[in-house]
Chain A
């Protein structure tokens, strides 16, 4: 299955600032996915990042708040902009690993103070 390197693993940020999360995959993948997992909750898809086109955002998520880059088939970034304490969560990237189902990065635990 694909191996994903995600960083940072955790951060504590001041409200009003922005944080960019990076995911590097060890193989080329068409789509990469960004999820949020709030405390005690299930995973919620934020957006699908396609190489060479705009990301596709799910209901409730907008590009101004969560801009995404996908410069090539092995890399993507998610930025959490103008953060507030409500953005405190775990953010995960994911790719489809064929028969192995969806593989997730190790997650970024964000705390906004």
Chain B
């Protein structure tokens, strides 16, 4: 199984700051990319899909660089409620959940 590598955490960031997470994947044939958010003792929930052209959802911006096999997530004007673990998820050829590879997650702590 190919790997997904994420920035090590935890990230301690003051409220209102901008924070960026990086993720690299090793399978150049990977097809779909996601960022999931997992709160402590909760299940992962989809934050946003990542498209080749990059996409934005409010304070969140995701970028994909296929040449470098690199995904990023940018959070602007961070809120206390953004504190969570952010999982980079890649869907490999063949599709379906048997192609999903999860990163170990980046732990974000927003400090007041």
Contact = CB atoms under 8 A, between A and B. Distances in A.
Contacts of A92: 43-44
Contacts of A101: 34, 36, 46, 49
A102 B43 contact: no
B92 to A, nearest CB: 12
B98 A42 contact: no
Interface stretch (B60-68, B69-77, B100-108): B100-108
B59 interface: no
Interface in B1-29: 1, 4
Interface of A: 31, 33, 40-45, 48, 56, 58-59, 92, 94, 96, 100-107, 109
Nearest to B35: A101
B65 to A, nearest CB: 21
A109 B98 contact: no
Most buried by B among A48, A102, A103: A102
B97 A31 contact: yes
Interface of B: 1, 4, 34, 36, 41-46, 49, 87, 96-98, 100, 102-105
Contacts of A100: 46
Contact of B105 (A33, A42, A94): A42
Contacts of A41: 104
A94 B45 CA distance: 11
Given A31-B97, A48-B96, A94-B97, A106 B43 contact: yes
A104 B100 contact: no
